[in-house]
Structure 1
């Protein structure tokens, strides 16, 4: 296959032959397919194979690939120039759109990725509070900045230790790790680090240890703890923002974070991110205040054009959410029925247009639960689906993303393929 030839060449030029680790298919024991183009809910590789796509560039393609209105906006913007390094009207329009859709946002700063958004939000929280420590949750991914690459030790009382080479211990010493859906673990960290915690950062719906739903009341209790301890709550909505609804997961669960990090979806597929929140906090960011953060490509005019087009479509067509949520439920329920019929040790976690099939008999509420999954079995399932033209995430702990371009026929076809794949296991 041409993909195999390209992969062999790529391995000589790039680490693992890829520019992002999960793309190399290592965890599923397969060879990556090199994609040539995409349209609506389909991917096409360099060997001419067609796939029903359930990655959607890891979330932002909520309208499907190559949406005509988004492409038209991008083309028009590109004709005026690709980058200015200066202020544009499009930045103001994007900021106003987000301001109108997300009540917790009183002021916002555009950046270039979700990693940059979470990193900058943490810095703003530290600058505003004058405190250094951050609480994150085991299994929640907030990008690859040094302070966020932390794995919990044997107990949640301990400070974090780096989980990546190249991260000095000092960069992670102020990152504390709690257990998702366990409010007592958060309370314990506050008690043992009194008046030292600047912020708690959390994926309101984690989607990087598989999709994990917050238990009823957990997020509300978390916000209450933050308020009682004069600590900021940072909502990482890089995946859930504008996907679980126009107001994101925070609207869905009735949470009002102090700061929010966005990514992916606000750029319509272009590299973009943003962070924002309470005005008094954001006014500490340069040039207004002493929290420095800058970027030549922040608010890039082409990326802004794509994001404005996509968010405007979503704003003016709320029925899109009804469509994608119903398709996701149809897929998730269908998989549950297949699992039950075959007596397999597997579970499906789903919410809105997000879901994950986890090969474990346990209900998954946190990272420890997720780690009981049989990753080798998922790898076999993934390959069996790929061979039938279904492109799932090449890793057990990622999400399935439904787009507005998917149809009921696509879901039925996927379930037929899943039945064959599960039978082969």
Structure 2
């Protein structure tokens, strides 16, 4: 059993000053029934808590750290830049460099606007879509998360053709009326919505690979179908690639499936570990944004030099090395081992993987939509997580989050993880 005395003490103090003691809910570890870890430092594929415990990290700051923690080149770039100033509130060369790298990697993007978070990116993209189409309604999918803007905090009503109801107090009903919920991987649910509201729908927003109900892959024709439906109805298609951008390949998942959305949102990896977001698309759409057009969006720290240079350094390293091949192999190796181990323990869980992303679902069902995700045994995952933490393996503290492998992970880390999971499964049958 690892010592967690200082983490526990800090958490008790933090709850006096910060709601729930954390600045993002999942960090509270409530879904796994234990107290959170307070991280003191991190390097490569490892994080170290305030008590000095070492963990092989599969959270990777929820995805941004594809190069691993404290990559030497990224840290040097940040430090060299910080000497000259941490924020200007004015244009800098680094934001131009990052913008060019992003646009060059995405055929669908002529221009991109930098913001500070994925939530800012998605809410801004929806605003552009509404302005361009002159319509108010949007379609989103059960289980897909696009940030915490009022527009997105909606759940389905009694039927797919019923306007949503707010999932969070403080979200006015008027926002819910303009958000329509469809089923992920179910084109018929989308068609039904468009039959009723097609001429009022500004955009369909989707994670091309769902990463906020665990990792759920799109069916072969799902994304193509969305492109066809939106084009036929004069609606915009928005790909939320905050997670998948530069994670699945150099560019986005849209590059792999060869589908060009009207607008794309990004975050995580493009900031190299610092706060960032971005949205971009065709020139005619992006030129609607102030100061060229009338769609207003602004941010004091947008294009912050530290985030821009960290992101640009990360993207250049990804472009000029064989990292994607490396993490594909590591992902294949780890999930292959896990499937064998689970079967040997007569535990038939579903493991979904794409490149360096994977999820272990404690259900025997194939997981390709939100309904299947809901069949997971969350209590069993919670026990699995608690035992795994005590073995020095850091998986996400919730069943419905994604595990990430970084370029800093080694085969030795994979072997240790598989061995730890084998030991853990002996205790949770």
TM category, shorter: over 0.9
Give the equivalent residue in structure 1 for 2:339. 336
Within the alignment, does 1:150 sit opposite 2:150 as a pair?
Answer: no
Alpha-carbon displacement from aligned partner over 1:44-74 (angstroms, at most 9, x marks no partner): 0010000000011000100000001001110
Structure 2 equivalent of residue 46 of structure 1: 50
Q: Tell me how far apart the structure 1 counterparts of residues 65 and 329 of structure 2 sit (CA, whole Å).
A: 17
Cα distance in structure 1, aligned partners of 2:241 and 2:169 = 27
- Aligned partners of 2:99, 2:394: CA distance in 1, in Å? 34
TM-score (structure 1 length as normaliser):
0.99
- Aligned match of 2:414: 411
Structure 2: distance between partners of 1:66 and 1:175:
40
What is the deviation of 1:173? 1.1
Gaps spanning 5+ residues in structure 2: where? none
Query: Could you say which residue in structure 1 is the equivalent of 2:97?
Result: 93
Work out whether 1:360 is the aligned partner of 2:353: no
Output aligned runs, 1:312-327, within 5 Å: 312-317=316-321, 319-327=322-330
2: distance between equivalents of 1:71 and 1:337? 38
- Select 1:7's aligned residue among 5, 11, 15: 11
Partner of 1:69: 73
Aligned: 1:19 with 2:23: yes
> Which shifted more, 48-57 or 165-174?
165-174
1:304 to 305, 308, 324: 308
Q: Find the counterpart in structure 1 of residue 84 from structure 2.
A: 80
| Counterparts of 2:45 and 2:341, CA distance in 1 | 24
Q: 1:177 and 2:181 equivalent?
A: yes
Q: State the Cα deviation string for residues 5-54 of structure 1 (Å, max 9, x = none).
A: 00111111111110100001001001111000000000000100000000
Structure 2: how far apart are the matches of 1:226 and 1:4? 50
Residues 257-268 of structure 1 mapped to structure 2, 5 A cutoff? 257-268=261-272
Cα deviation for residue 154 of structure 1 reads: 2.5
**Aligned counterparts of 2:349 and 2:109: Cα–Cα separation in 1:** 39
Q: Which residue, 195, 203, 207 being the options, matches 1:199?
A: 203
Distance 2:306 2:420 in 1: 38
Distance 1:101 1:370 in 2: 32
Aligned equivalents of 2:229, 2:154: Cα separation in 1: 22
Distance, in Å, in 1 between the alignment partners of 2:159 and 2:251 is: 35
Shift of 1:333: 1.3
Supply the distance in 1 between the matched residues of 2:222 and 2:150 (Cα, whole angstroms): 27
Number of the residue aligned with 1:122: 126
Q: Secondary structure, in 3 states, of the residue corresponding to 1:424?
A: coil
Structure 2 CA distance for aligned equivalents of residues 64 and 231 of structure 1? 39
**1:104 corresponds to which residue?**
108
Unaligned runs of 5+ in 1: none
Q: Do structure 1's residue 422 and structure 2's residue 425 form an aligned pair?
A: yes
1:287 aligned partner: 291
Residues 1:401 and 2:404 are matched in the alignment? yes
Shift of 1:309: 0.4
Q: Secondary structure at the match of 2:313?
A: helix
The list of structure 1 runs, each at least 4 consecutive aligned residues, that deviate by more than 3 angstroms after superposition, is none
Distance apart, 1:194 and its partner CA: 2.5
What is the count of residue pairs matched by the alignment? 424
Matched, 1:390 2:393: yes
Aligned-partner Cα distance in 2 for 1:105–1:23: 34
Q: Which moved more, 1:335-344 or 1:267-276?
A: 335-344
Instruction: Tell me if 1:237 matches 2:246.
Output: no
Aligned mates of 1:275, 1:215 — CA distance in 2: 25
